[in-house]
A and B are shown apart, each in its own frame.
Chain A
Amino acid sequence: MASITRRGLLAAGGGALGGAAGVPRAAAQGLAPHERELHEAAQREGEITWYTGQFQSEPSEAVGRAFTERHPGIKVNVVRSASQVAFQRLSQDARARVAQCDVFSSTDTSHFTALKRQDRLLPYRPRNAERMIGAARDAADPDGHYQITYLALYLLARRTDRVPEPEAPRSWRDLTDARWRDQLAVGHPGYSGAIGSWCVAMRAMYGWDYFRALERNRPQIGRSAGDPVTTLNAGERTVGVGIPAAATLFSISRGNPLSLIYPEDGTLMVPAPSAALRNAPHPNAAKLFMEFMTGPAYARATRPFFAESLRPEVQPPEGARPLDQIKFVSPALQDIETGIPEVKELWRDTFGI
C-alpha cells in the first residue's frame, strides 16, 4: 500500500524532478553477462532493502540512486543509521523471526563474523570483487560470506580558524593534554562501529587509562562517528576525534573551515564489510547489489563523497592523502570481535553514558 501511493507522490514531484530518478534508462546495456542474468532475476523482485552504517545519509542515498540508475526497475530502500543501530535493527528482526533486510553494511567486522557463525549470511563471491584493490580483497571473508565495500579512515580534524596548524594535536595521545579540555567531540561506541574499533585500537596502544584521561577533558559525545563533523562546523567544539575522512573531506568541500589531521600514532583504518543475508527476501537483488558494490559504478558514485576508491580504475578522492603515505593502525579481527562489547561497557562506565 505504501508503495502504491508513494509512486503517486513521486509522480507529483516528477515534473520538477526533470527525470533524475525513476525514469528508465538504457543503462542495462553496460552490464556484464553475469550481471545481466542477475539483473533480470532481480527485476522480478523489484526492490532491495539495505541496512547500512557505512556512509552518512547523503552518500547512502546517492548509492541507492546510482544502483537504480544502473538497474532500472529495482528500487533501493536505504535504511541508514549508525552501524551499531543498523545491527540492532537486524538483531531485532532476527529476534522477531522476520526477514526484511537483503544486504547489510556496517563498520564493525565483528557483526559479520557473528552473523557468519550463526549461518545467517548468504555465501556469495561477487565476480566484480576479483578486480578490487588488494586492501579490500585481503580483508574480505575467505569463504566469500562478506566483502569489503568501504575502506574507512578515522582520524582527527580541527577548526582551522580556532586551532592553528602549529598548535593542533598531532596524535591521539595529545588529546589527553589539558589544553583540549572542552574542545573535543567524539562519537559513541554504543552507536558507531568505527568508534568501537577505535576504542579497541586505543586500548591496545595505551590501555583503558587513555579514556579515563580523555574523560577529564570532557569531550562532547555524539552518536555516529560523523556526528563531530557537524559539531565542529557549528563551532561547538574545535577538534573532532575519530571522525571519518570521507565525511570530513565532503564537509570541507562545502566550505566549512576544517582540516584533517593524520595522527602520528596511526590513522585508524577499518575495512568495512557488506554482505547479503541468507534469508534475504530478494536474494537475486541482494546478489546483484553485492556485485554493484564491488564494481566500478559504486566507486564512481561514492567518489564525490570522498570515499576511498576500492577499484583501480577509479581515482582516489580529491584532497585525500594517498593511502601509501599514511601510517595505519588496524585492530585485528579477533580483537574487534571480543573487544567491542568490552569497550562499550567500559566506555559507559567511564563516560557515564
Chain B
Amino acid sequence: MNDTATILPKPAARAGEPRRAGVLDRLSHVEPVALVWLALAVVLLLLVVAPLGKLFLVSFETQETGAFTLSNYVTAYGRARYRDALVNSLLLGLASATISVVLAVPMAWAVSRTDMPGKGLTWAVVLGAFVVPPYLGAVGWILLAGPNSGVINRVWRAATGAEGALFNVYSFEGMALVIALHSFPLVFIFVKAALDLVSSEMEDAANILGAGTWTAVRKVSLPLVWPSIMAAFIVIFLETIALFGTPAIIGIPARINVVTTQLWQFFEYPVRVEVAAAYAMPLLLITVGMIAVQKLLLSRKGFVSQTGKGGERRPIKLGPWRWALFGWCASVGALSVAMPLLVLVQASFAKAWGRGISLDNLTLRNYRLLIFEHEMALTSIWNTIWFSASAATFAVLIALLIAYIVNRRLVPFGEALGFLAMAPFVIPGIVMAIGFYAAYASPPLALYGTAAIIIFAFTARFLPIAYANSSAAVRAVHPEMEEAARILGSGRLHAISRVTAPLVKKALLGGWLIVFIVASRELSAAIFLVGPRTRTMSVLLYDLSEAGNFEVLAAFGGLLLLITMVLVGVGMKLVGRDFMLRRT
C-alpha cells in the first residue's frame, strides 16, 4: 500500500513559464452551454417571474392611473362574502385532499406491498380517474347524485321507499368528494413510488418485535412514506383551490362560493384585475405556509431510501383481507370512473337524459350536432390538440435543458433555474392565469386572445411536471456516457444529442404525454385567457355546461375522452404501461 506514494506523479514542473491564455483561447474554452443558460434564464423570467411579479405589482395599482394604493386589498377583503369564499376554498382544499389520501393510500399500499388480486384493474382505475377531466366527472356526478333526478338517489328511493336523497351532490361534501375522486391518482402515484422503496425488512423488524401487520403499517410503513403523503396532500390542496370547473358546476347550485368563482366575479364588468390580483395574494401566502409546515414536520427525520443493502421486497400475505382491499379498490374505481362514465355515455346518446335508457330516447344527434353543425366544436378540438402539444413540447424542451444544466452542475447558480422551473408547482393555476393576463394580455405584447398566451401559460403551469420527469431521466444517465463521447472529440451539444438524448428518449416521451394530457383537460388557466378563436375543449365544455345542456355536453366530453384514450393508448404502446404513473 505504501508504495503508492512513490508512483504518484510529480507536480507539473514549474520551470516552464505558465502560458497565459489569450482572449481568443479563452473564448474557445467557453462552452455554448453558458449561452443556453442565459437563454433559459430569460425564458423562465418571462414564463414564471414576470407574470407573478406583475400580479404582485398590479395588486397595488389604481385602475387606469396605476398609482400606488392599498384599496384593492380593502375591496378584495372588505366584504364578508369574499372572505367566506376564501374560507370555503381552504376547507374544500383540506377536505378533498384528505378524502384523496383516504381513498388512495390503501390502494397504493395494496398494489405496492401486498398480494392483493386485481392489481392491473387498480392501475386501470387510477389511470382512468387521472384522464377524466374533473369538470366532466362533476357533470357525471350531477347525473348520478342530483338529489331528485340522480340515478343513485332514484334507485335508493325505489329500493327503500325513502323520501330523501341518499347523497346530494349539490353540497360541500358532494363537491369535495367529486374533486377527490379525480385527484386521488396523484396520492396513489406519490405514495406507491415511496412505498416501493421501503424494504420489507423495515416491516419485518416491526413484526418480530411484536407488531402485527396493521401495527407495522401504521407505525412503520406509513410514517416512512409520510413525506410523499404530505407532498401529495399539498399538491391536491393547491389544485383544489385553483379548480374552477367543479365549483362553477356544482358549487353554484350548492350555494358555495369559492375563491375561483369569486375571482371570476372580479372579472365581471368592469374588469377589476387589480382587485383580483389582491385577492389572489393570500393564496400564495397559504402555499408558502403549507410548504413551511411541511419542512418543519419533516425536518431531521429520515425517510425511505436510506436502507443499507437488503432492499428485498416481498408482498405481504393478507389472507382473506386481500379481498377486502380489492373491494376497496374496485369501489373507488366504480365511484371515480365506471359510474360517472356510464351515465355520461348514456346521456350523450340520449334525447333527454332524465328519461333514462329506452330505445326511443336513443339518438346520435348530440354527436352529429357537435361534429357537423357546431362551428366551434371541431375548432376547439384542434385548438386543444395543438395548444397542448406545443405546450408539452416547450415544457419538455425547456425542462430537459434545465435539468441537464442543473444535474451536471455546468454553471454556478444552476439550482436557481431548477427552483424557478419547479415554482409553478406551488402556484394555484388560476393565479398563474391571472398573472399571465395582467402581464401579457395588454399592449405592448397584446397576446390576449392569441394562441401564444395560452400555450405559454400551459407551458409555465406544467413546467414542473416536465422538469421533475426530465431531471429523473437525466440523473439516470451516467455522465461518463457523455464523457466517453466527448473525449473522442464530440462537442457537448453533439454529445447530448447523440448520446444523452437517445438514452432519455422514452422518459421524455412519457413526460411529454403527461403534460399533453393534463394540458388538454386544463380549464382554470384557460378560462381567463381564451379568445373567441382560441377556445379549448375544456372552455367549450364549460360554456356548454352554462346552459345546462347535459346531453351535448356529455357527447363533447365523450369526444374529449376518446381523444385522451387514444393518446394514452399510444403512450402505453410507446413508453410502457406505467408511463403516467412513474414518479415524476
Interface size class for chain B? 35 or more
Q: Does B376 contact A (CB under 8 A)?
A: yes
Q: A6-B378, A56-B547, A190-B268 known; A97 and B351 CB under 8 Å? A: no
With the chains together, A20 CA to B253 CA distance in Å? Answer: 38
Q: Does A271 contact B (CB under 8 A)?
A: no
With the chains together, A353 CA to B446 CA distance in Å? Answer: 33
Q: Enumerate chain B residues within 8 angstroms of A227, measured Cβ to Cβ.
A: 546-548
With the chains together, A159 CA to B558 CA distance in Å? Answer: 29
With the chains together, A1 CA to B548 CA distance in Å? Answer: 32
CB pair B255 A57 closer than 8 Å: no
With the chains together, A228 CA to B546 CA distance in Å? Answer: 11
**Partner of B146 from A56, A75, A234 at Cβ < 8 Å:** A234
> Restricting to B142-181, which residues have a CB under 8 Å from any CB of A?
146-149, 170
Q: Interface digits, B239-259 against A, CB 8 Å rule (1 contact, 0 not)? A: 000000000100111011100
Q: Does B269 contact A (CB under 8 A)?
A: yes
- What's the least CB distance linking A8 to chain B, in Å? 9
Q: A57-B552, A221-B252 known; A77 and B375 CB under 8 Å? A: yes
Q: Does A302 contact B (CB under 8 A)?
A: no
Q: Enumerate chain A residues within 8 angstroms of B371, measured Cβ to Cβ.
A: 13
> Restricting to B218-273, which residues have a CB under 8 Å from any CB of A?
248, 251-253, 255-257, 261, 265, 267-271, 273
- What's the least CB distance linking A99 to chain B, in Å? 9
Q: Enumerate chain A residues within 8 angstroms of B381, measured Cβ to Cβ.
A: 9
> Restricting to A320-353, which residues have a CB under 8 Å from any CB of B?
344, 348-349, 351-353
CB pair B81 A16 closer than 8 Å: no
CB pair A61 B534 closer than 8 Å: no
CB pair A20 B373 closer than 8 Å: yes
- What's the least CB distance linking A245 to chain B, in Å? 15
Q: Interface digits, A76-95 against B, CB 8 Å rule (1 contact, 0 not)? A: 11111110110111111111
With the chains together, A168 CA to B424 CA distance in Å? Answer: 54
Q: Does B451 contact A (CB under 8 A)?
A: yes
Q: Does B31 contact A (CB under 8 A)?
A: no
> Restricting to A232-248, which residues have a CB under 8 Å from any CB of B?
233-237
Q: Interface digits, A255-297 against B, CB 8 Å rule (1 contact, 0 not)? A: 1100000000000000000000000000000000000000000
**Partner of B543 from A20, A57, A235 at Cβ < 8 Å:** A57
Q: A6-B382, A255-B352 known; A65 and B373 CB under 8 Å? A: yes
Q: Enumerate chain B residues within 8 angstroms of A61, measured Cβ to Cβ.
A: 369, 373-376
CB pair B269 A100 closer than 8 Å: no
CB pair B148 A236 closer than 8 Å: yes
**Partner of B382 from A2, A101, A349 at Cβ < 8 Å:** A2
Q: Enumerate chain B residues within 8 angstroms of A255, measured Cβ to Cβ.
A: 351-352
**Partner of A80 from B271, B446, B534, B543 at Cβ < 8 Å:** B543
> Restricting to A1-59, which residues have a CB under 8 Å from any CB of B?
1-3, 5-6, 9-10, 13, 16-17, 20-21, 49, 51, 56-58
Q: Interface digits, A216-233 against B, CB 8 Å rule (1 contact, 0 not)? A: 000011111011111101
Q: Does B69 contact A (CB under 8 A)?
A: no
CB pair A16 B372 closer than 8 Å: yes
**Partner of B354 from A65, A88, A89, A234 at Cβ < 8 Å:** A234
**Partner of B379 from A2, A87, A233 at Cβ < 8 Å:** A2
Most buried by B among A95, A114, A221: A95
- What's the least CB distance linking A296 to chain B, in Å? 22
- Which segment, of B284-292, B437-445, B574-582, faces chain A? B437-445
Closest chain A residue to B265, Cβ basis: A190
Q: Enumerate chain A residues within 8 angstroms of B379, measured Cβ to Cβ.
A: 2, 6
CB pair B443 A97 closer than 8 Å: yes
Q: Does B449 contact A (CB under 8 A)?
A: yes
Closest chain B residue to A51, Cβ basis: B532
CB pair B446 A13 closer than 8 Å: no
With the chains together, A224 CA to B446 CA distance in Å? Answer: 30
Q: Does B550 contact A (CB under 8 A)?
A: yes
Q: Enumerate chain B residues within 8 angstroms of A82, measured Cβ to Cβ.
A: 546-547
Closest chain B residue to A229, Cβ basis: B548
- What's the least CB distance linking B88 to chain A, in Å? 10
CB pair B533 A77 closer than 8 Å: yes
CB pair B81 A348 closer than 8 Å: yes
With the chains together, A236 CA to B147 CA distance in Å? Answer: 7
With the chains together, A341 CA to B178 CA distance in Å? Answer: 33
Q: Enumerate chain A residues within 8 angstroms of B127, measured Cβ to Cβ.
A: none
Q: Enumerate chain B residues within 8 angstroms of A234, measured Cβ to Cβ.
A: 146, 149, 353-354, 550
With the chains together, A88 CA to B383 CA distance in Å? Answer: 22
CB pair B546 A79 closer than 8 Å: no
**Partner of A220 from B253, B372, B544 at Cβ < 8 Å:** B253
With the chains together, A210 CA to B546 CA distance in Å? Answer: 26
With the chains together, A76 CA to B267 CA distance in Å? Answer: 26
Q: Does B549 contact A (CB under 8 A)?
A: yes
Q: Does A135 contact B (CB under 8 A)?
A: no
Q: Does B531 contact A (CB under 8 A)?
A: yes
Q: Does B113 contact A (CB under 8 A)?
A: no
CB pair A353 B271 closer than 8 Å: no
With the chains together, A20 CA to B535 CA distance in Å? Answer: 24
**Partner of B372 from A20, A76, A85 at Cβ < 8 Å:** A20
With the chains together, A147 CA to B100 CA distance in Å? Answer: 52
With the chains together, A82 CA to B248 CA distance in Å? Answer: 13
CB pair B352 A254 closer than 8 Å: yes
Q: Enumerate chain B residues within 8 angstroms of A9, measured Cβ to Cβ.
A: 378, 381-382
Q: A65-B373, A77-B375, A190-B265 known; A88 and B271 CB under 8 Å? A: yes
CB pair A236 B146 closer than 8 Å: yes
With the chains together, A348 CA to B269 CA distance in Å? Answer: 16
With the chains together, A318 CA to B483 CA distance in Å? Answer: 81
Q: Does A169 contact B (CB under 8 A)?
A: no
CB pair A88 B149 closer than 8 Å: no
- What's the least CB distance linking A66 to chain B, in Å? 11
Closest chain B residue to A108, Cβ basis: B269
Q: Enumerate chain A residues within 8 angstroms of B81, measured Cβ to Cβ.
A: 348-349, 352
Q: Which 4 A-B pairs have the closest CB atoms?
A: A230-B548, A96-B441, A96-B448, A234-B354
Given contacts A81-B543, A222-B252, A233-B353, 16 further A-B contacts (CB under 8 A): A5-B386, A6-B378, A21-B373, A78-B375, A79-B376, A81-B546, A88-B268, A88-B269, A95-B441, A96-B442, A97-B446, A224-B547, A226-B547, A234-B354, A254-B352, A352-B257
29 pairs across A/B with beta carbons < 8 Å? A2-B383, A2-B386, A5-B382, A5-B386, A57-B549, A58-B552, A62-B373, A64-B375, A79-B535, A81-B543, A87-B269, A92-B528, A93-B531, A95-B441, A95-B442, A97-B443, A100-B532, A111-B269, A188-B252, A190-B268, A221-B252, A221-B255, A222-B252, A222-B548, A230-B550, A231-B548, A235-B149, A348-B81, A351-B255
Interfacial residues, chain A to chain B (CB-CB below 8 A): 1-3, 5-6, 9-10, 13, 16-17, 20-21, 49, 51, 56-58, 61-62, 64-65, 75-82, 84-85, 87-98, 100-101, 111, 114, 188, 190-191, 220-224, 226-231, 233-237, 254-256, 344, 348-349, 351-353
Interfacial residues, chain B to chain A (CB-CB below 8 A): 81, 146-149, 170, 248, 251-253, 255-257, 261, 265, 267-271, 273, 351-354, 369, 371-376, 378-379, 381-383, 386, 437, 441-443, 446, 448-449, 451, 528, 531-535, 543-544, 546-550, 552
